[in-house]
Amino acid sequence: MAKPTLVILAAGMASRYGSMKQVEGFGPHGETIMDYSIYDAIKAGFGKVVFIIREEFADAFKAIMEPKLNGRIETAYVYQHLSYFLPEGYAVPDTRTKPWGTAHAVLCAKDAVHENFVVINADDFYGTDGFEKAYRFCTNACSDNLHGIIGYTLRKTLSDHGTVSRGVCQTNQQGNLVAINERTKIGWKGDKVVYEDESGEHEVSADSPVSMNFWCFSPGVFALSEKLFHSFVQERGNDPKAEFFIPIVADYFIQQGLGNIQVVSTDAQWFGVTYKEDAPGVKASLTALIDAGEYPTKLWP
């Protein structure tokens, strides 16, 4: 079986953070969060990394990544354009400037990925254990009727500087995903975790598994995604804010009985930069991992 591929969603700009955090250095030698994910993926056994980026900054992005990765792992670059994979005869509405969403971004990698693959965000730190488990799932279990999602413990994904949005995973007795319940404004309140919605505050278990957009798929997901994207743009394409997210595809896959999505639990500590104030903590966390021998001081000597 071919080695699995790592697909990185790196086309977005982070309005809340205020900069292109995908290429900002947090490690002692300017390593990005994405560098640590790629390092972990190479170590786990992945054979290729596919970057989904905006074409307008492709040259600058490649200039940063290629010197690091040349000879270490195969690389490919794909672009997310609004016009890609639209239904025949459909034109991009004049009001649409925002990308179509994460599931459309993954669909844009269709011609570059022919093996089981994982999808991650560029600006999230997932940890060694997550990649090792994703590799094992992709090589031992993943198929057209069994996909996976790496489930992180909610308490290990919260920010000290404000509330966040998290997809809380609901599972059945077999450990398969039943639904992802999107919870906004979720965070610590004393020693409890609560989220807020229109009806008030609600407590949620700090040990709940949550989605951090770390998915394991077979190439069969592309055909399903294209079908659902066509339906999406025909139904909601004129809404300039509507987005075609990966959980839309996952939910359809489950609800239509096309297969199961296994929640693969990890006890790894997630961290990322949701707020500018998170940056020093990310740097401190990386330093602690380096001091503990988890990573070399310089990732790419």
Instruction: Give mean pLDDT, residues 40-65.
Output: 92
Q: Does 164 fall in a domain? A: no
For 11-44, how does the pLDDT look when each residue is reduced to its tens digit (9 = 90+)? 863 333 344 444 568 999 989 899 999 999 999 9
Q: Are 148 and 137 in contact (CB under 8 A)?
A: yes
- Cβ neighbours around 110 below 10 Å, total: 17
Confirm whether 140 is domain-assigned: yes
Residue 259 in any domain: the answer is yes
Quickly count helices (H) and strands (E) in the chain. Answer: 7, 13
Is residue 92 situated within a structural domain?
A: yes
Tell which wins on pLDDT, 266 or 184: 266
Query: What's the domain range around 239?
Result: 5-152+209-291
Residue 267 phi/psi, 5° resolution? -100, 15
| Stronger pLDDT, 58 or 203, i.e. the higher one | 203
Task: Quote the radius of gyration of the chain (alpha carbons, Å).
Answer: 19
pLDDT at 66 over 50: yes
Question: How does pLDDT run across 260-299, given as a tens digit for each residue?
Answer: 999 999 999 999 877 788 888 899 999 999 999 999 999 9
Is the residue at 199 inside a domain? Answer: no
The letter for the amino acid at 268 is: A
* Domains in the chain, number: 1
Predicted pLDDT of residue 16: 36
84's tokens: 């890609």
Single-letter amino acid, residue 291: D
Alpha helices (H) in 76-220, listed in sequence order: 102-107, 128-140
Question: Two tokens at 80?
Answer: 């997310």
Question: For position 184, what pLDDT does the model report?
Answer: 86
174 within a domain of the structure (yes/no): no
Does the residue 191 lie in any domain? no
Mean pLDDT of the chain: 92
Give the separation between CA 162 and CA 37, rounded to whole angstroms: 25
Kindly report the CATH number assigned to the domain that includes residue 279.
3.90.550.10
Nearest partner of 100 among 204, 4, 11, judged by Cα: 11
**Which secondary structure element, helix H or strand E, spans residue 263, and what is its range?**
strand 260-266
Q: Distance (Å, rounded) from C-alpha 31 to C-alpha 24?
A: 8
Q: Is 165 a domain residue?
A: no
Which residue in 134, 129, 168, 159 sits closest to 247, CA to CA?
168
Rounded to 10 deg, the angle between the 246-255 and 221-236 helix axes is: 110
Write down the pLDDT at residue 23.
Answer: 59
pTM confidence score: 0.93
| Phi, psi angle pair for 241, to nearest 5° | -105, -5
Q: Give one DSSP letter per residue of 151-206, joined into a string.
A: EEEGGGG--SSS-EEEEEEEE-TTSBEEEEEEEEEEEEETTEEEEEETTEEEEE-T
Two structure tokens written together for 240: 């300039």
